[in-house]
Chains A and B, each alone.
Chain A
Amino acid sequence: MFELNSVPKAKENYKATQNACKLCSPLGASVAFKGFKGCVPLIHGSQGCATYIRRYLISHYKEPIDIASSNFTEDATIFGGDENFKMAVLNIINQYKPEIIGIASTCLSETIGDDVSLFVHHFLDKHPDVKTDFVMASTPSYQGTHIDGFHEAVSSVVKRYAQKGLSQDHVNLFPGFVSTEDLRLLKEIMADFSLEHIMMPDYSESLDNPVWDTYHRIPEGGTAKEDVVKSGSAKASIEFGTILNKGKLSGRVKSNKLSRTGAQFLKNEMDVPLVNMPMPIGITQTDAFFEELKTLSGNDIPEKYTKQRGRLIDAYVDAHKYTFGKRAVVYGEEDFVVAMAAFLDEIGIELALVATGGESGMLEAEIKKYCPENKDKVVVREGYDFESIREWSLENKPDILIGHSKGYYIARELNIPIVRVGFPVHDRVGGQRIKHLGYSGTQELFDKVVNALIEQKQSNSPVGYKYM
């Protein structure tokens, strides 16, 4: 019973979250599962979890995204979700005939203590002829953010399939939560280096389909489980993101095995060397990525990319005055924000505020590490929500917002431009196709940032003008 005298003074500076700058972990897990061939995500919880997440993803990807739910009832909540789980699995198999069912748990199923692996065993005992594989990710939404869910799902697939073997010539690529266009770019780069690779996950096709003649219950694309098997015998893993699901893992009582990513698992258990680096946005980080590829492939950097790099530097030079000293607010997922900030740091932007809803405890150090120009003055905030970003911005008057579409209302109120990057982009078309990575992705970002600043100046000019 809640008692009057049991309420202490507002301790540990607790504040309600207003307009969260993060999502819950089953969302990230669902995206990651979509990046494996023949996989249908199943969210083990109430119907709403799956439907809300579908709706949120559909509004970004503009694709049909089927995510099943075990659709908890009151009985399931009291007596356990075993029956619902079994029924869900049967119905998914009947409808979708999936190779893999990727199960993401929820706050509900974890709180009542459902043991999903036991349910799977029960199910397979009763249905020995079922050929579908099961992969389980523990993703209660009270732990971490959608990014934790993403890495947890990737890691669960790797743990399920990877087999140790003699080191071969291929490499593993763990791109993190990037756009479908980014994934396509990475594949192209790997091909240009003649590097055979296994990308985990790869939703470049499954979340960005062409039009169809008939409905594809499971969209094409995704990394095949047979390939994941081989990830244990890769020459190396390249993993983008330096924070990943590490750190204090917001609100987690104990740190546990979840804090490992797929790449780290392969390193620890199967001796696959790990190259861990920020997402390649900007010249410095893209250079680092290409250097790695050069080493791993033994091939020179293809001329196509040296030219892209040259053009990008040329563009930096042509437009350097428009970006210099402009004060930006950058927000979003931690690793993405590190990479964006590193790029903006290169072009003379002042990082006024770098904010995230995540709470790894690592963001400030990473930002300072990768943003040499800004390291002495940048303001970094973790566990921030959009109202905090708004209040900060009203007081500190930045020139530009750089992040996903949920920050739009702040830009509108301040009458400053917003450059939409990352996830989600719900108020524009093409959000899923924004290219961020590599020289060519950086080129597109650079043009967008510069033009947003120019447009702002032009629109607010009393005369308007026809030349820059």
Chain B
Amino acid sequence: MSNYLKDRESQILTKGNDAAEISCDKKSLAGSVSQRACVFCGSRVVLYPIADALHVIHGPVGCASYTWDIRGSLSSGPQLHRLSFTTDLKERDVVFGGEKKLYHALIELIDKHQPKAAFVFSTCIIGVIGDDVEAVCRKVTKEKGIDVIPVMSEGFNGTKKDGYKIACGALSKLVGTNNDYEAPKYSINILGDFNLAGELWILAEYYKKLGVEIISCMTGDGRVEQIRRAHKASLNVVQCSGSIMHLAKEMKEKYDIPFMKVSYFGIEDMSEALYEVAKFFKDDEMLAKARELVTNEISKLLPALQPYRQKLEGKKAAIYVGGAFKAISLVKALRLLGMKTVVVGSQTGNAEDYKLLKDLCDEGTIIVDDSNPNELSEFVKLTGANLFIGGVKERPIAHKLGLGFCDHNHERKEALAGYVGMMNFAKEVYASVTSPVWKFVK
């Protein structure tokens, strides 16, 4: 792999050719044009879907502008999360400090929008100019009677993953603050679903059929009040483990709530998730309901997928997404469509994820951590992929090189979770791979 930056070689491997384990959990290489963002981004995406909280970005204007209404996280009620609030610091504030602006901004915005809590994100220069954000938050908490939680997410202070951890810390300040709630017998929290295109509502429907109540989802369609009582649940069901595992672990320690890792993408993983939850509650009736649900859904879905599979059989796919756990599900979901994964990578996967991926993938599959446009375009060419699955920044790379593309980003409008999501996935892959436009590209 001599075409790539030398310092990146350990983060790229080809199954069958490279014996070593992939190296990951590293900071992005300066100048490599990583597809990752920063600490702030990690914190912002995790907390973003909490719809009745105020999300204030303390810093100059850019970070707020670029994250305004950025995720397709739907809310069944308030839409406050879709607005962008910032202290919009100017040069004077950098010299004299931004605390006063932050204080006034919080008072103004809380009075205006009546949020249930507020998150205050510190961006890069806040740490440098030494604003005491925590003190401002304490003061406003006292004056306004709502939790105003500092999120110290200065962009330079690690990677996107560190931002996840900081967001989990902010959530854990809310968890456990309402003890009056009586949880039903079978209750769970869903961790790491962000209700993109309403995916949480699909899952909620399944769990309801099993007789399982969702106390809170962190953070899709999130509400402050639900998070406060999340510690009353019997089980944390964790998807997108990279972003929210810290919270699951903390809740295990603090409240003795066990957690399990699941994925809702593809038939296998979706069904597995339902079975695992039913097994956890050791309730035969629930397990029977899960079987019935799964059988029912699969018996409808498999024949419906067949025509798509016929057209897609043997096609090759490249995957580059944020979290590696999602990538694992995608490899399986593609198999169900008869497609082979030839490139797979993620921005934030850990050693365990990559091991799973290596075990799962076929010989010759390129596995990559924290990749960049040059590498991805090389991989695609090298492997002759027909489809790329990724986010906004990968889409033009695929299109430019004449590949189909499936949006698996956080602004997507098509739900991809659950059985209905598998169907949508097949339709989207089919629509892109078999479009007549490609004949003009080659």
Contacts and interface: CB of A to CB of B under 8 A. Distances in A.
Interface of A: 1-2, 4, 6-8, 10, 14-20, 22-24, 26-27, 42, 45-56, 58-59, 61-74, 76-77, 84-85, 87-92, 94-95, 106-108, 111-112, 140-143, 145, 209, 211-215, 217, 250-253, 357, 387, 406, 409
Interface string B388-404: 00001101110111100
B434 interface: no
Interface string B81-96: 0011111111111110
Interface stretch (B98-106, B237-245, B290-298, B359-367): B98-106
Nearest to B107: A10
Interface in B135-165: 135-136, 139, 155-159
B112 to A, nearest CB: 9
A107 B156 CA distance: 12
A70 B105 CA distance: 32
B131 to A, nearest CB: 8
B66 A47 contact: no
B154 to A, nearest CB: 8
Contact of B31 (A55, A88, A215): A88
B137 to A, nearest CB: 10
B393 A48 contact: no
Given A71-B34, A77-B127, A92-B31, A58 B85 contact: no
A47 B34 contact: yes
Interface in B145-197: 155-159
B85 A24 contact: no
B217 interface: no
B393 A55 contact: yes
Contact of B136 (A2, A15, A20, A26): A2
A24 B392 contact: no
20 contacts: A2-B135, A7-B139, A8-B100, A20-B88, A23-B62, A50-B33, A52-B67, A63-B396, A64-B373, A71-B30, A73-B27, A77-B127, A108-B155, A140-B60, A142-B89, A145-B61, A211-B401, A215-B374, A251-B93, A252-B90
Contacts of A8: 100
Given A20-B65, A87-B31, A211 B402 contact: yes
Given A1-B135, A73-B156, A141-B61, A19 B84 contact: yes
Contacts of A85: 30
B5 A17 contact: no
B20 interface: no
B61 A1 contact: no
B35 interface: yes
Most chain B beta-carbon contacts within 10 A, residue among A54, A108, A217, A357 = A108
Nearest to A215: B377
A142 B86 contact: no
Contact of A16 (B59, B88, B91): B88
Given A16-B87, A16-B105, A91-B32, A27 B68 contact: no
Contact of A91 (B29, B93, B132, B156): B29
A357 B5 CA distance: 41
- Chain A to chain B: the 8 pairs with minimum beta-carbon distance, closest first: A251-B90, A48-B38, A24-B62, A91-B31, A88-B31, A215-B377, A46-B155, A16-B105
Contact of B64 (A14, A17, A66, A71): A17
B30 A84 contact: yes
Contacts, number: 259
Contacts of A67: 33
Contacts of A106: 124
A252 B91 contact: yes
A106 to B, nearest CB: 7
B254 interface: no
Contact of B61 (A14, A17, A45, A87): A17
Given A111-B124, A251-B92, 4 more contacts: A16-B108, A17-B61, A141-B62, A145-B61
A18 B66 CA distance: 13
B41 A48 contact: yes
B426 interface: no
Nearest to A62: B396
A70 B30 contact: yes
Nearest to A52: B66
Q: Which of B69, B90, B401 has the most CB of A within 10 A?
A: B90
Contacts of B401: 211-215
A139 to B, nearest CB: 10
A51 B31 contact: no
A16 B33 contact: no
Which of A26, A46, A107 has the most chain B CB within a 10 Å cutoff?
A: A107
Given A19-B84, A24-B65, A77-B127, A94 B5 contact: yes
B31 A142 contact: no
Contacts of A61: 396
Nearest to A211: B441
B37 A51 contact: yes
Contact of B85 (A17, A23, A54, A406): A17
B391 to A, nearest CB: 8
B399 A49 contact: no
Contact of A47 (B36, B107, B381): B36
Interface in B1-35: 5, 7, 27-35
B295 to A, nearest CB: 41
B207 to A, nearest CB: 32
B125 interface: yes
B40 interface: yes
B166 to A, nearest CB: 14
B56 interface: yes
A251 B88 CA distance: 10
Contacts of B396: 58, 61-65
B136 to A, nearest CB: 5
B48 to A, nearest CB: 14
A107 B33 contact: no
A353 to B, nearest CB: 20
A215 B91 contact: no
A357 B64 CA distance: 14
Given A14-B104, A64-B373, A142-B89, A77 B128 contact: yes
A253 B63 CA distance: 22
A6 B30 CA distance: 41
B157 A74 contact: yes
Contact of A27 (B62, B83, B86): B62
B351 interface: no
Nearest to B347: A51
A171 to B, nearest CB: 34
A195 to B, nearest CB: 33
Nearest to B437: A211
B27 A71 contact: yes
B283 interface: no
B39 interface: yes
Contacts of A72: 124, 155-156
A2 B136 CA distance: 7
B129 interface: yes
